[in-house]
Amino acid sequence: MVRMKVKVVGLEQHTLNPVVIITDPDETGYLPILIGPSEAYAISQGLEGKRMPRPMTHDLLKNTIEALGATVERVVIHDLREETFYARIYLKTERGEIDLDARPSDAIALALRADAPIYISEELAAKAVHSNRVEDPEMEAFRRFLDSVSPEDFQRNIQG
């Protein structure tokens, strides 16, 4: 498995659809995952560590897991089929480990709230991770753009 972290939540350049960019710890590779506007908002809130006056869905899920005596051990984005990513949430319980099928966006939003690590499978890394080492002027411009924006910039576009 390859450990990843959330780099940014933004808008895909051509379609303006929300996207979450996850990278390896050294930021030598990245994986863009298209998500919906509400998922983008939930991930942005998790990145910023913001707590809403009332629990959002991912907060409720985290609270429920903890109330049942379990913890979120890790999330793994493990497959890409027909342009759809697949993820699993791994819970540690008194009776052992439980894994649940999840959309990557929900798994990421939960992982951020539970301070759980995010991984991708080796197989997915081999077929879907883009290298930051490519000498591509358009990609370099995109990287500079990502470095210059904050989650708040995209939150305004998603809500507006």
- Who wins on pLDDT, 70 or 152? 70
- Segments of the chain assigned E as strands: 2-11, 18-23, 29-34, 71-81, 84-93, 96-102, 118-120, 130-131
pLDDT band at residue 127 under the 50/70/90 scheme:
confident
pTM above 0.85, yes or no: no
pLDDT at 125 over 70: yes
Q: Which domains does the chain have, with CATH numbers?
A: 2-153 (3.10.690.10)
